[in-house]
């Protein structure tokens, strides 16, 4: 069957940014310049014109920007997203007959016989007048589409062309049509324009979605007195010093009543001793569940004071949302249909046979009352949003139904688009990426287990290039309360400090979003829990804060807090480090030296980083820079300033020698322009 | 807004084969095994099951095949396309609770205390009976979905499990559930199954779309007598010898009346001398247009005899369809609205300013009467299809509207799906690929201008890998009447012969579809037309057959017809050479030695080719084979047979020495298994 209009001769393909054929939005942040590219072409040699149409979803009219041609039938345009939330864009393209005519005329005029060389004879006598008349026709048509002065101007230009045709005098130079072409371009003939079939979604988050520094802390360990249960007030008192370190997100593990049934004791022992505080992730007791506070931490007033203290210090509070219940959670009795019931009437606890987690009841996303469950979970977010929280770290989202997240996050961001969701999913790549596509603002990563140069480079190349960079924002953590990587389990204090420095430098410079499980990282806490007999080494902390209070002495001499403070300052002062799609790696033959850079789009700020991955030995080598990525000529001197030491070096051309000792395991070089 | 059913927990992504998000069909040929892959996953750790649903578009019911798991959440299944034309497939996936239960049970049983080691104590006493009852519940549910014996069997198995649970005796070994699992798998619970949103199209062509050897010949040069205008009868007489060379498609330039107005003379001179035959592409005279025959070539009876002769010799005739008109074409007066009219009432001839082609009127695809034009062009194909033609080589399709081709080809193939269209488009990559997506069965390529090892390898890697391999079938030509590449313009007869051999070997082994402009290639015709003064070298033939008759002496001693015959025999005897997606390149440090291989999917036939790209010197080097691509172990001896010389060699491991002189510029080695 023929199309309704067979004269739409343009094809529009490969439109970017686009995630899974526009099934999911590409992510950007407020104020970003969105660079659209597309392949746009038609049959034959006619010239093409195209524009991108874009709008915030709340607006009914499109704004537009002309696309400009790149090589190989690709086109590009930019637009700024200046409002949070959902945007749409699409592309419209058409054959520009006036532009085609202008370029042909230019070639015709160039081919005219040169009056100084009368031997040349190209018989074009009638061609030029005819061409002028054809052009006049195009201008008439444009005038009919135009309004006001523009219409008059176009009509006048048409009359001029016809007069020239009537005069039929030889024309040797080019005719200046640039001005009238600009007017004509405002009134394109869209009768046979092709519109891209899809309106492509973009989601715009606030800046913190792209650039954030997280500090995780257990409020119950914040009391100045050892062995005393800490409170929100205790934590609020420490906010100024955490803020002074340069962190902007203060993240607390769950703050709800903790279950008593099957409570875990210290070091995850199966039976709790009297006085054991239990795991904050065993959520719910008779006092309440996900919308209640653990009384030992304080009241809602205390919580509000903490929210206020973080704001006053330029920080934000992030809550941990773990959708699971202790056997004592009110939902267990109020909504037994939200859980899996076994044939004996008991509720199915969490299992990974033969392992059992009898202190945790998972929710059943195949519940007959799934809509009630979804509403209740949504309500948990709503509850804390009403209390001033706008950042949520979601615990194990990959064990909850993916369609739930897509609905829930969209529903929340519909009214509070500034809400940020960090997915704590350490699972298979497809599932992690699917959570991001479905709406999670940021995601935890495999960074902790990417420890060699090859692994770091290939992983961050994947994360910072399309398609992944369009939807997945990494938030990289050198440690978490669950993960003390083997690399950090270093008994020797000198090598240990070097390794902790190395990993936090990598995290803070490879990724614009990063975080640390704060007190343990600052103090280079390294002792792992004893592995089970016959099992490989554990990544659990010894005396883990997950099961007991800890008292951290932030003044201990091993503390790397000063270096972390410096790192955060460098991140704040250098916008190149505040985004990820600008990451480039540079070659170095030494497998222990990782070299990479980030630049702002305008190249005003370029940071070049070299990290020594060996925490025991000095490593040296020649880095072989990709000068184009640095915005530098391939040859010539350039100055670099080491932002860690303040030293300045003069580097020459692309190959430069570097030596790094473990104590200061990196250069963070700003290119001085 | 919540989805209708929020319990569909599976995500299906990255489904292949798929072209532009299913906007265009992926191409296959009759009898192909279509390998479907997809990423399929859900939340949590439940086990997933999935099936591909597929059907010919003419059938209303789906066939199905279970997908099996690959690493990293990828799944795969195969199905055979055993009917020409349009097919559809999609994927359905669900959580398999019975399978999840079985695997958990196995782990539970393994973790049971060993009766021989009574010290081990894991308190699972009630777990196993409970698990057995849960499994019985799954089997009951499957029985309710099942029919006949299967239902009875499932019910019985459920009763067995419950008896075991009631007995509550220790179970130490695994329970054998494999048989009942197979029965249960026939009746999956699809209540919460996810269906992929799209029905993905596949187009199935006949085998010749994938594997063909074309011979281009001007019938007017086929007279045994020099200077006499050849006829269809003359060509028919030569079909047996062309067939004996192993070609299966006989392709003729246009056979219609040739325009008189502005007819081109010999060597493309602007004025024709009396008796000049003109260009066959200047179609149309008072005798008729695209559905008429040039009287000098013969009658429709003669044409029918030629069709019959090609069939009798196992060949097929391919017609050249060039949608353009000489000023004498009947359409010019019958349908002036199909052309562009200039302000002076004249019709616009073809131009690329300042060049003019006054003997050619292009069609106007923006005509007010575009539907009439489309119908007329469609009618041309229909006319020749009625006369037994099923292969069309379409001249310059990229200067006609792309939507026209998509409609026209679909409309023709709706009733004659065996029709093959070869796009003669030498233009920008997007346009060439778009023609293929829009329906062209095969396309001309840049092969002629890919002459170095790096260029050949990167180009054929692009052509033989997704996405391109899914829609674009290359048909590679070392020469055409329009293109005598500089490489072939070799005065020295020894080097010339070597170059002609090299290029046809590359064409015939890199691509399953290839062709030659036959007589000129066999006889190593090398003389270029004189370039215009001050212009770079010409790719036009001197005394081009496009403008005059030629008499070819096929018995000339330089003829490479015997070698071409041998090449075609090798192609016919070795199915590995009859497809393209199986191409692999192998390393060799010598930049003049190109090494590649092709295998059948079952590895029964593997051909390894090494070509010397230097037509003047012997080149030698060590090839470094990718043994996996050859289906060989990384170490060990293997025998190869050179299909060009009959010699057999024993090769060892992956590195083997090769030396090739220009006279026999290639090894075509069959791996002897």
Spatial separation of the C-alpha atoms in residues B505 and B222, rounded to whole Å? 26
Based on the number of CB atoms within 10 Å of its own CB, is A467 exposed (0-12), middle (13-18) or buried (19 or more)? middle
Backbone angles phi, psi at A185, to 5 degrees: -65, -20
Interface of A with B in 398-417 (CB under 8 A): 398-404, 407
Spatial separation of the C-alpha atoms in residues B604 and A144, rounded to whole Å? 69
Spatial separation of the C-alpha atoms in residues B299 and A324, rounded to whole Å? 85
pLDDT at A122 over 60: no
CB pairs < 8 Å spanning A and B: 157
Q: What stretches in chain B show pLDDT beneath 50?
A: 119-123
Backbone angles phi, psi at B455, to 5 degrees: -70, -45
pLDDT in tens, A514-550: 999 999 999 999 999 988 777 778 999 999 999 999 9
Nearest neighbour of B11 by CB, restricted to A130, A134, A402: A402
Catalytic residue positions of B, numbered? 395, 424
Catalytic residue among A216, A234, A424, A522: A424
What was the pLDDT predicted at B53?
98
Spatial separation of the C-alpha atoms in residues B14 and A393, rounded to whole Å? 28
Instruction: Encode burial over A186-208: b for 16+ CB neighbours within 10 A, e otherwise.
Output: ebbbeebbbbbebbbbbbbbbeb
What was the pLDDT predicted at A353?
85
Contact status of B6 with chain A (Cβ, < 8 Å): yes
Is A354's CB within 8 Å of B130's CB?
no
Q: Which of A28, A8, A6 lies closest to A19, judged by CA?
A: A28
pLDDT at A249 over 70: yes
- Going by the DSSP 8-state scheme, the letter that residue A389 receives in this structure is -
More confident residue, A123 or A580: A580
- Which residue does chain B place closest to A438, by CA atoms? B11
Q: Which of B96, B95, B175 lies closest to B128, judged by CA?
A: B175
Contact status of B218 with chain A (Cβ, < 8 Å): no
Spatial separation of the C-alpha atoms in residues A447 and A478, rounded to whole Å? 7
Spatial separation of the C-alpha atoms in residues B402 and B23, rounded to whole Å? 14
Q: Which of B43, B102, B139, B368 should we substitute to test contact with A (largest number of A Cβ atoms within 10 Å)?
A: B43
Spatial separation of the C-alpha atoms in residues B545 and B184, rounded to whole Å? 70
Q: Is the peptide bond before B467 cis (omega within 30 degrees of 0)?
A: yes
Q: Which of A3, A44, A349 should we substitute to test contact with B (largest number of B Cβ atoms within 10 Å)?
A: A44
Q: Which of A187, A155, A177 lies closest to A103, judged by CA?
A: A177
Which percentage of chain A shows pLDDT scores above 90?
Answer: 92
Interface of B with A in 112-151 (CB under 8 A): 122, 124, 126, 130, 133-134, 137
Do B202 and B87 touch, CB atoms closer than 8 A?
yes
H helices of B146-231, in order, are 148-167, 178-185
Contact status of B370 with chain A (Cβ, < 8 Å): yes
Residue with tokens 């104020």: A31
Is B6's CB within 8 Å of A407's CB?
yes
Instruction: Encode burial over A544-561: b for 16+ CB neighbours within 10 A, e otherwise.
Output: bbbbbbbebeeeeeebbb
Contact status of B20 with chain A (Cβ, < 8 Å): yes
Q: Which of A348, A447, A341, A443 lies closest to A396, judged by CA?
A: A443
Contact status of A109 with chain B (Cβ, < 8 Å): no
C-alpha angle with apex A326: A321 to A329, nearest 5 degrees? Answer: 85
pLDDT band at residue A117, thresholds of 50, 70 and 90? low
pLDDT at A303 over 80: yes
What was the pLDDT predicted at B585?
98
Q: Which of B2, B13, B409 should we substitute to test contact with A (largest number of A Cβ atoms within 10 Å)?
A: B2
Catalytic residue among A96, A205, A248, A395: A395
What was the pLDDT predicted at A114?
64
Q: How far is A666 from chain B (nearest CA, A)?
A: 35
Nearest neighbour of A374 by CB, restricted to B2, B42, B111: B2
Give this prediction's pTM: 0.95
C-alpha angle with apex A552: A546 to A556, nearest 5 degrees? Answer: 145
pLDDT in tens, A393-409: 999 999 999 999 999 99
Is A44's CB within 8 Å of B122's CB?
no
pLDDT at A568 over 70: yes
Spatial separation of the C-alpha atoms in residues B235 and B242, rounded to whole Å? 10
Query: Which SS3 state, helix, strand or coil, does residue A537 take?
Result: coil
pLDDT in tens, A420-477: 999 999 999 999 999 999 999 999 999 999 999 999 999 999 999 999 999 999 999 9
Interface of B with A in 564-603 (CB under 8 A): none
Is A130's CB within 8 Å of B343's CB?
yes
Q: What is the mean pLDDT of residues A615-636?
A: 97
Instruction: Encode burial over A333-359: b for 16+ CB neighbours within 10 A, e otherwise.
Output: eebeebbbebeeeebebebebeebbeb
C-alpha angle with apex B85: B81 to B91, nearest 5 degrees? Answer: 50
Q: What are the chain A neighbours of B1 within 8 Å (beta carbons)?
A: 407
Report chain A's mean pLDDT, rounded to a whole number: 96
- Which residue does chain A place closest to B340, by CA atoms? A134
Contact status of A661 with chain B (Cβ, < 8 Å): no
Q: What is the 3-state secondary structure (H, E, C) of A180-246?
A: HHHHHHCCCCCCCCEECCCCEEEEEECHHHCCEEEEECCHHHCCCCCCCCCCHHHHHHHHHHHHHCC
Is A11's CB within 8 Å of B434's CB?
yes
Contact status of A42 with chain B (Cβ, < 8 Å): yes
Query: Which SS3 state, helix, strand or coil, does residue B410 take?
Result: helix
What was the pLDDT predicted at B110?
85
pLDDT at A118 over 90: no
CA within 13 Å, CB half, A630 = 28
Residue with tokens 């599976």: B10
Query: Which SS3 state, helix, strand or coil, does residue B650 take?
Result: strand
């Amino acid at each position: 069957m023929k199309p309704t209009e067979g004269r739409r001769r343009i094809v529009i393909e490969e439109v970017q940014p686009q995630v899974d054929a526009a099934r999911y939005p590409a992510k950007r942040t407020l104020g970003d310049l969105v660079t659209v590219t597309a392949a746009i072409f038609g049959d034959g040699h006619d010239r093409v014109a195209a524009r991108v149409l874009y709008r915030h979803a709340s607006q009914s009219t499109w704004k537009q920007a002309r696309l400009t041609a790149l090589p190989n039938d690709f086109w590009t345009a930019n637009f700024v997203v200046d409002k949070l939330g959902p945007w749409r864009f699409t592309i419209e393209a058409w054959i520009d007959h006036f532009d085609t005519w202008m370029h042909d005329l230019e070639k015709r005029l160039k081919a005219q016989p040169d009056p100084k060389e009368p031997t040349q004879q190209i018989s074009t006598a009638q061609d030029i007048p005819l061409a002028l008349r054809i052009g006049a026709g195009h201008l008439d048509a444009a005038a009919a589409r135009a309004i006001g002065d523009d219409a008059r101007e176009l009509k006048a230009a048409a009359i001029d062309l016809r007069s020239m045709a009537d005069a039929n005098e030889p024309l040797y130079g080019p005719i200046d049509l640039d001005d009238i072409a600009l007017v004509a371009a405002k009134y394109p003939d869209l009768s046979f324009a092709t519109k891209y079939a899809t309106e492509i979604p973009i989601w715009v988050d606030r800046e913190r979605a792209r650039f954030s520094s997280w500090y995780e802390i257990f409020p119950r360990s914040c009391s100045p007195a050892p062995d005393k249960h800490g409170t929100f007030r205790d934590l609020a008192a420490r906010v100024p010093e955490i803020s002074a370190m340069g962190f902007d997100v203060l993240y607390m593990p769950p703050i709800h009543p903790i279950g008593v049934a099957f409570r875990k004791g210290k070091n995850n022992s199966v039976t709790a001793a009297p006085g054991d505080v239990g795991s904050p992730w065993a959520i719910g007791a008779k006092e309440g569940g996900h919308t209640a506070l653990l009384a030992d931490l304080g009241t809602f007033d205390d919580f509000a004071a903490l929210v206020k203290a973080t704001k006053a210090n330029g920080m934000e509070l992030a809550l941990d949302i773990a959708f699971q219940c202790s056997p004592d959670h009110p939902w267990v009795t109020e909504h037994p249909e939200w859980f899996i019931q076994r044939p004996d009437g008991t509720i199915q606890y969490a299992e990974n046979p033969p392992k059992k987690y009898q202190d945790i009841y998972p929710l059943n996303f195949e519940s007959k009352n799934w809509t009630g469950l979804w509403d209740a979970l949504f309500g948990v977010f709503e509850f804390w949003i009403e209390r001033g929280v706008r950042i949520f770290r979601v615990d194990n989202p990959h064990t909850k139904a993916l369609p739930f997240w897509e609905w829930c996050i969209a529903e929340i961001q519909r009214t509070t688009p500034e809400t940020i969701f960090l997915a704590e999913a350490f699972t298979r790549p497809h599932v992690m990426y699917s959570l991001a596509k479905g709406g999670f603002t940021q995601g935890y990563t495999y960074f902790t287990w990417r420890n060699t140069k090859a692994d770091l480079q290939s992983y961050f190349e994947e994360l910072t290039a399309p398609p992944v960079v369009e939807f997945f924002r990494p938030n990289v953590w050198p440690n978490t309360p669950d993960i003390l990587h083997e690399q950090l389990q270093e008994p020797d204090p000198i090598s240990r400090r070097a390794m902790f420095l190395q990993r936090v430098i990598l995290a803070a410079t490879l990724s614009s979003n990063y975080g640390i499980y704060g007190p343990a990282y600052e103090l280079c806490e390294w002792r792992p829990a004893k592995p089970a007999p016959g099992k490989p080494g554990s990544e659990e902390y010894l005396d883990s804060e997950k099961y007991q209070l800890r008292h951290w002495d932030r003044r201990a001499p091993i503390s790397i807090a000063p270096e972390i403070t410096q790192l955060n300052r460098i991140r704040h002062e250098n916008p190149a480090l505040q985004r990820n799609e600008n990451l480039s790696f540079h070659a170095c033959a030494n497998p222990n030296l990782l070299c990479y850079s980030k630049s702002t789009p305008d190249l005003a700020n370029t940071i070049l980083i070299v990290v020594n991955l060996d925490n025991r030995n000095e490593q040296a080598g020649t880095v072989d820079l990709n000068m184009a990525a640095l915005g530098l000529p391939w040859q010539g001197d350039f100055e670099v300033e080491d932002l860690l030491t303040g030293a300045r070096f003069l580097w020459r051309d692309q190959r430069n020698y570097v030596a790094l000792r473990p104590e200061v395991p990196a250069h963070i070089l700003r290119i001085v322009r």
